[in-house]
Amino acid sequence: MKVLVIGNGAREHVLCKSLNSSRKVSEVFVAPGNGGTRECAVNIPINSDDIAGLLSFVQSNDVDVTVVGPEIPLSLGIVDLFEENGLNIFGPTKSAAQIESSKLFAKNLLVEIGVPTADFCVVDDYQRVDFDTFGFGPPYVIKADGLAAGKGVSIVDTVEEASLVLRAHLVDKTFGRASEKVIVEQFLLGKEISVFGFVDGSNVSSLTAACDYKKIYEGNKGPNTGGMGGYSPPESSLWNKAIENWVMDNVMQPVVDELKKRGTPYKGILYAGLIKTEEGLKVLEFNCRFGDPEAQLIIPRIENDLVDVIADVVEERIKPDSVKWDSEASVGVVMVSEGYPDKYEVGYEIEGIDLLGHNVQVFHAGTTLKTTEKENRLETSGGRVLTLLSKDKDLNIARDNVYRNISSINFNGATFRHDIALLNQSNNN
The model's pLDDT over 250-290, given as tens digits with 9 standing for 90+, comes to 999 999 999 999 999 999 999 999 999 999 999 999 999 99
How sure is the predictor about 426, in pLDDT bands with cuts at 50, 70 and 90? very low
pLDDT for residue 41: 98
pLDDT for residue 47: 97
Kindly write down the DSSP assignment for every residue of 129-167, as one continuous string. Answer: --GGGSSS-SSEEEEESS--TT--EEEESSHHHHHHHHH
Q: In terms of residues, how long is the chain?
A: 429
In whole angstroms, what is the distance from residue 284 CA to residue 224 CA?
15
**Which of helix, strand or coil describes residue 332?**
strand
pLDDT for residue 39: 95
**Which of helix, strand or coil describes residue 267?**
strand
Closest of 46, 41, 38, 104 to residue 78, by C-alpha? 46
Q: What is the mean pLDDT of residues 356-373?
A: 93
Q: Highest mean pLDDT range out of 143-147, 182-186, 310-314?
A: 310-314
In whole angstroms, what is the distance from residue 68 CA to residue 90 CA?
6
Render the burial of 242-252: b for 16+ CB within 10 Å, e for the rest: ebbeebbebbb
How sure is the predictor about 425, in pLDDT bands with cuts at 50, 70 and 90? low
The whole model's pTM is what? 0.94
Residue 424 has pLDDT above 90, yes or no: no
Closest of 118, 71, 134, 3 to residue 287, by C-alpha? 71
Q: What domains can be seen in the chain, in order of their start residue?
A: 2-93 (3.40.50.20), 125-180 (3.30.1490), 189-322 (3.30.470.20), 330-406 (3.90.600.10)
Q: What is the mean pLDDT of residues 399-406?
A: 97
pLDDT for residue 151: 64
Closest of 30, 65, 66 to residue 47, by C-alpha? 30
**Which of helix, strand or coil describes residue 306?**
helix
Report which residue type is found at 304.
N
Query: What is the per-residue pLDDT across 303-320, written as a single tens digit (0 to 9) for each?
Result: 999 999 999 999 999 998
In whole angstroms, what is the distance from residue 405 CA to residue 388 CA?
8
Q: What is the mean pLDDT of residues 116-144?
A: 88
Q: Are strands 120-123 and 182-186 parallel, antiparallel or unpaired?
A: antiparallel
Residue 30 has pLDDT above 90, yes or no: yes
How sure is the predictor about 139, in pLDDT bands with cuts at 50, 70 and 90? very high
How sure is the predictor about 379, in pLDDT bands with cuts at 50, 70 and 90? very high
In whole angstroms, what is the distance from residue 169 CA to residue 167 CA?
5
pLDDT for residue 294: 98
Rg value, the chain, Cα: 21
Q: What is the mean pLDDT of residues 399-413?
A: 96
**Helix axis angle, 306-314 to 10-20, nearest 10°:** 100
Residue 427 has pLDDT above 50, yes or no: no
pLDDT for residue 152: 74
Query: What is the per-residue pLDDT across 209-239, written as a single tens digit (0 to 9) for each?
Result: 999 999 999 999 998 899 999 999 999 999 9
Closest of 63, 43, 59 to residue 1, by C-alpha? 63
Query: What is the per-residue pLDDT across 56-100, written as a single tens digit (0 to 9) for each?
Result: 999 999 999 999 999 999 999 999 999 999 999 999 999 999 999
How sure is the predictor about 351, in pLDDT bands with cuts at 50, 70 and 90? very high
How sure is the predictor about 125, in pLDDT bands with cuts at 50, 70 and 90? confident
